[in-house]
Amino acid sequence: MLFYPGGAMYQPNARHYLFFQNFFSDLGATLTRRHESNLISLVLFVAGLTAVGVSLVVASPIWKRVIARPGSTTHFGHAAQVMSLLAGVCYVGIAVTPWNLALGPHMLFVQGAFTLLLGFVVCLTVMQVQNDWPRRYLLSNSVYIIILSGYVLVLFDGPNLRTLHGLVFQVIAQKIIVYISILNLAYQTLGVLAAESQAAKSKATVTSL
């Protein structure tokens, strides 16, 4: 955002990033609405979203491996793995399709990314319930599912961008869901890391005995 030269739909001559009028995707455009180069923000945007996508792909099998107890059913674990993998691919897709050059594919990847992320978290939560995961993680995911479901509805049937009010609503909704997604996924990851660490300590104790 700091490196974005400026320009929004209703303020094309703005000289900086407008937090309530610029989408995150504006950071990934090749040119601003003033037709200026957006190279630095573009590079950072692509690097950031690609890292998110790759992380979702690489981590996709870990949730099932750590959360599911031996002998328990893993149908939702398999589904969570597939959805995490596909969501990761979509986030990379968002990064490599600037909206000003490929708006159709860009929006398809955006809708796919958040819809698949919703499916992933739903399956993850069911898997946590089946394996008596700590309630604090279930509560966090449950609240997140409600908020993310609302955002997915906004993505497909939200206010029209042809009005300033509609644009601001969509931009604020996107900011909220992105930051909440970061917080919830980070919190869930800490839970998995803690469980994995505890399992490693228990294994080491048994081995030493």
pLDDT above 80 (res 85): yes
pLDDT at residue 25 is higher than 90: yes
Q: With pLDDT > 90 as the criterion, what percentage of the chain qualifies?
A: 89
Per DSSP, the residues of 69-127 read PTTS--HHHHHHHHHHHHHHHHHHHHHHS-TTT-HHHHHHHHHHHHHHHHHHHHHHHHH
- At 74, is the pLDDT very low, low, confident or very high (cuts 50, 70, 90)? confident
The residue ranges of every structural domain in the chain are 52-198
Residue 205: burial class (beta carbons within 10 Å; 0-12, 13-18, 19+): exposed
Return the pLDDT at 130: 93
Q: Which amino acid is at 59?
A: A
Q: Which of 117, 52, 50, 47 is nearest to 86 (CA)?
A: 117
Average pLDDT, the chain: 94
Q: Are 38 and 4 in contact (CB under 8 A)?
A: yes
CA–chain centroid gap for 167, Å, is 21
Q: Is the pLDDT of residue 176 over 70?
A: yes
Identify the band that residue 208 occupies on the pLDDT scale cut at 50, 70 and 90.
low
